[in-house]
Structure 1
Amino acid sequence: MMNRIDYTLAQKSNLNAIYTTAGFPNLNDTPKSIQLLSENKADIIIVVLPFSDPLAGSPTLQESEKVALQNGMTTKLFFEQLKHIRKQTTKPILISGYLNPIYQYGVKDFCKKCAQIDIDGLIIPDLPLSIFKSKYQQYFTENNLKYIPFISPQTSESRIKEIDNLAGGFIYTIAPLAENSAFSEKEITYFKYLKALKLKTPLLIDVGMADNKQVEIALSFFKGRIISDAYVNFLSQNTVEKTADFIKSYI
């Protein structure tokens, strides 16, 4: 069966992959958040599994994870909340989480549980490529889960090609905006360089809080954008029920 991520990437461009944090702003908001994002222009939904020491995340995501844990979110509860999520959406759902809680659960069991509730892929920022390849790749394959790796301007060409061979679904591209909130000539050159590599795996770019003009520039080089902070930031000041308002104002 074709993974939903592959199907979605094959069907359209200018994709919107949007982050939400499980258990934030309220403990039981997660299923509703996923449903409303699905109904309002989210092509791919990325759900953060909170961790107590999220060193690689942005301050916005770190704060949301802290609140979610204080609310009582756990890995067991997370899976329980998403048990019937496929009654609410057919959109691809990915889990973004750190290796520690996944390891504590058991990587094999975690992947198996993801398959049982129809999760499509995992983003694990602190999982080294070599460890994925040697220890965990088989669990992803067995459970039809996509492995979503990262690249940045510091990633060498040889490394990018290695990542391209191992990636599933898409490659998560990080390219921070310059201080003036606009892509610099250096960053545009980087985008052109990535496009010229003609990778087999589509690239999605994390646009942070970029405005529409900068997003339009990025989308001329990438398959779609990853909205990692904006929706979570919106939820820090609004209820989940106002998700449609966020989409109307931001996308």
Structure 2
Amino acid sequence: MSRIKNLFDNKNKNVLNVYCTAGFPKLNSTLEVMKALQNNGADLIELGMPYSDPLADGEVIQQSGSVALKNGMTIKVLLEQLKNFRGDISVPVVLMGYLNPVLQYGFEKFCADVSAIGIDGLILPDMPQISFEKEYSAIMKKYGLDFIFLVTPETSEERVKKLDELSSGFLYAVSSSSTTGKDKSFEDVEKYLQRLQSYSLKCPILTGFGVKDKVTFQSVCKYSNGAIIGSAYIKALQNADDIETATKEFLQSVLP
């Protein structure tokens, strides 16, 4: 059984997925940040692979990616850093990034290598549905990796159901059609999540974009299985003297 499925089988409400950028704030911060997240209540870690043209990312995450790239972060460096990470990290870990660097690395080689070190799944926002169905889905299954598609308030019911069918692990509900880190009207977000709930989807739903504190966390958790927090945590790390302390204080400000 996959770690992600196991998580949702044991906890189907208030699941917290926290995004962090590999190689930020320093090149060798990756594991320290992941340990701090696990120690302080994150149920799942979404580890961002920095890329020079990150379409779905807001300014804060883009900036952290630029810092990480300047620090020397690459897919090869990241896999080296994560080689023995399962000795310390037991929570599910998904890699979030963009298709181009993965294709340059070699899609099947990438899946084989990340699966071998204990990564649980991938989020690639620019993955075309048709390419996934025809070419990449079979490779993901071969290496036991979950693939998470994103849906937005503008995604039609038919397409939501199709992406739910293709996804495994969970479905990523983008709270609005903007980049990460923007403020949202959470009344509208709740209506959108209620609509998704009415579709009786197979995958659990985690909601991201704009979740930053207890109020917004509890708001999206009313109508989905949990939340994804990224920009607000990256901001907390930007000015941190100590990663463990900053992470503890931040997660205490979010969790009920």
Q: Scaled by the length of structure 1, what TM-score is found?
A: 0.94
Alignment identity in percent? 38
The answer on whether the counterparts of 1:21 and 1:47 sit within 8 Å (CA) in structure 2 is yes
CA shift digits 1:73-99 (9 cap, x unpaired)? 111100000001000011000000100
Aligned to 1:9: 8
The answer on whether the counterparts of 2:189 and 2:220 sit within 8 Å (CA) in structure 1 is no
> d(CA) in 2 for partners of 1:175 and 1:23?
27
Task: Note the 1:25-44 alignment, pairs <5 A.
Answer: 25-44=25-44
CA shift digits 1:11-39 (9 cap, x unpaired)? 11210000010000000000111111111
The answer on whether the counterparts of 2:211 and 2:217 sit within 8 Å (CA) in structure 1 is no
Aligned to 1:250: 254
Residues 212, 248 of structure 1: alpha-carbon distance in 2 compared, 3 angstrom cutoff: closer
Aligned to 2:244: 241
Gapped regions of structure 2 (runs ≥ 5): none
Residues 130, 234 of structure 1: alpha-carbon distance in 2 compared, 3 angstrom cutoff: same
Residues 174, 180 of structure 1: alpha-carbon distance in 2 compared, 3 angstrom cutoff: closer
User: What's the offset of the Cα at 1:56?
Assistant: 1.7
Residues 165, 209 of structure 1: alpha-carbon distance in 2 compared, 3 angstrom cutoff: closer
Aligned to 2:98: 98
Choose 14-23 or 189-198, whichever is displaced more: 189-198
Residues 164, 209 of structure 1: alpha-carbon distance in 2 compared, 3 angstrom cutoff: closer
Aligned to 1:152: 152
CA shift digits 1:106-130 (9 cap, x unpaired)? 0000000011100000000111111
Residues 104, 177 of structure 1: alpha-carbon distance in 2 compared, 3 angstrom cutoff: closer
Aligned to 2:46: 46
> d(CA) in 1 for partners of 2:190 and 2:253?
26
User: What's the offset of the Cα at 1:190?
Assistant: 1.8
1:183 and 2:186 matched: yes
RMSD of equivalent CA atoms: 1.7
Q: Secondary structure at the match of 1:250?
A: coil
The answer on whether the counterparts of 1:54 and 1:98 sit within 8 Å (CA) in structure 2 is yes
Residues 35, 214 of structure 1: alpha-carbon distance in 2 compared, 3 angstrom cutoff: closer
> d(CA) in 2 for partners of 1:100 and 1:214?
33
Residues 34, 131 of structure 1: alpha-carbon distance in 2 compared, 3 angstrom cutoff: same
User: What's the offset of the Cα at 1:215?
Assistant: 2.3
> d(CA) in 1 for partners of 2:221 and 2:23?
31
User: What's the offset of the Cα at 1:201?
Assistant: 0.8
Q: Secondary structure at the match of 1:114?
A: helix
User: What's the offset of the Cα at 1:210?
Assistant: 4.0
> d(CA) in 1 for partners of 2:189 and 2:28?
40
The answer on whether the counterparts of 1:172 and 1:205 sit within 8 Å (CA) in structure 2 is yes
Aligned to 1:193: 195
Q: Secondary structure at the match of 1:201?
A: coil
User: What's the offset of the Cα at 1:207?
Assistant: 4.7
Q: Scaled by the length of structure 2, what TM-score is found?
A: 0.93
Choose 171-180 or 83-92, whichever is displaced more: 171-180
> d(CA) in 2 for partners of 1:168 and 1:70?
33
Residues 34, 210 of structure 1: alpha-carbon distance in 2 compared, 3 angstrom cutoff: closer
One-letter code of the match for 2:42? A
> d(CA) in 1 for partners of 2:183 and 2:51?
32
Residues 235, 73 of structure 1: alpha-carbon distance in 2 compared, 3 angstrom cutoff: same
